Amino acid sequence: MSGQDWLDKDFYAVLGVSKDADAKEIKKAYRTQARKHHPDHHPDDPKAEERFKEIGEAYSVLNDPEQRQQYDAIRAMGSGGARFSAGQGGPGGAGFEDIFSSMFGGGGQAGPRPTAGGADAPDIEDLLRMFGGQGGGFPGGGAGPAGFGGQRAPAKGSDISARTRLSFRDAALGTEVRLTVDGRTLTARIPAGVHDGQKIRLRGKGRPGPGGAPAGDLLLTLDVTPHPVWSADGANLRLTVPLSFDEAVLGTRLSVPLLDGGTVSVKVPAGTPSGRTLRVRGKGLVTAKSTGDLLVTVEVAVPTHVEGKAEQAVKDLREALAGEDPRAGLAEAAAR
């Protein structure tokens, strides 16, 4: 993504959070927006997928402390005294990338317009160094950019962007993918526990740097295909398991599948209502940072047709429980 993209896009507004929102608020807002705008819920809206991608893009930047710091710095400069236009020769003069490309190796000569993740896009770390950000100095420090005093080390190569699609299982367990980017075939290791719309940075997988300088990075956006049974909730795994009426009333033990192909025995206490969630600790996603739990939601299956002894048994049960009212107190509570 280019500096102009970050200058133009308000990721806080996309997620509906304030600029001082903490990581927990950002994560909660992302989940809300992602559920609301998921393309599966808007099959007739051609722009739904684009909105969904914007939400994922905003979260991937604001959820990464380093990228968020860089994004805030770029936006702060753009809202200050300097103003940058989006293109060359426009009313505001040269574009954001044009100005900084000329400072960082462009030599002031006209060239091709920078593109998001393209070879001519300015390096954000260099941009921050110029304005006193991480790793940079000013005149006299020996590390300042050319034109500001001192000798500047060769800039690393440009970052590039790519997308890849993963199955839910591969995203949950981790995998390796092969990508063709800029005519090169790359192998990328995807860590366990990634989510739809997440971006991961692959160091040194971008374009080679000039004069033997280090290569840039590859910013890889992940599109995760939903699973018909499993879903992820942070590091926790969720699934819903059907339960017969007698199992819910009398209690039972269920053999529940695990994502890695095994099974686990889950005790269902007598009198368990439909919709209750049972937790199996340590059987969720295993990531570099944590191990989640398995959350099993039971759903009582109601027979669509009963006859003979089964029908009589249900009638006998209704008669035996005639004194119990499951809706007792509902009217009074609703009138408050």
What digits encode the pLDDT tens for the residues 230-263?
999 989 999 999 999 999 999 999 999 999 889 9
Give φ, ψ of 224 to 5 degrees. Answer: -105, 125
Give the per-residue pLDDT at 74.
81
Give φ, ψ of 228 to 5 degrees. Answer: -70, -20
CA torsion angle 84 88 90 96 (round to 10): -10
Give the per-residue pLDDT at 66.
86
Return the bridge partners of 254, or none.
266
Q: Are 297 and 275 in contact (CB under 8 A)?
A: yes
Q: Are 40 and 225 in contact (CB under 8 A)?
A: no
Write down all domains in the chain, each with its CATH number in brackets.
Answer: 3-130 (1.10.287.110), 160-224 (2.60.260.20), 231-325 (2.60.260.20)
In percent, how much of the chain has pLDDT > 90?
A: 36
* Tokens at 82, concatenated: 């300097």
Give the per-residue pLDDT at 79.
59
Give φ, ψ of 310 to 5 degrees. Answer: -65, -40
Nearest by Cα to 230 from 279, 149, 284: 284
What average pLDDT does this structure show over 298-325? Answer: 88
Is 0.75 topped by the overall pTM? no
Beta strands in 24-108 (DSSP E): none
In percent, how much of the chain has pLDDT > 70?
A: 76
| pLDDT tens string 266-307 | 999 999 999 999 999 999 998 888 899 999 999 999 888 889
3-state secondary structure of 72: helix
Residue of higher predicted confidence among 299 and 95: 299
CA torsion angle 242 247 251 255 (round to 10): -50
β-strand pairing of 218-224 with 199-202: antiparallel
The H-or-E segment that residue 177 falls in is strand 175-181
* Tokens at 10, concatenated: 């308000």
C-alpha 285/C-alpha 274 separation (Å) is: 25
C-alpha 14/C-alpha 9 separation (Å) is: 9
C-alpha 87/C-alpha 66 separation (Å) is: 28
The 10 Å Cβ neighbour count of residue 90 is 11
State the DSSP code for 104. Answer: I
| pLDDT tens string 60-85 | 889 888 888 888 888 787 655 444 44
CB under 8 Å to 99, separation ≥6 — which residues?
A: 84
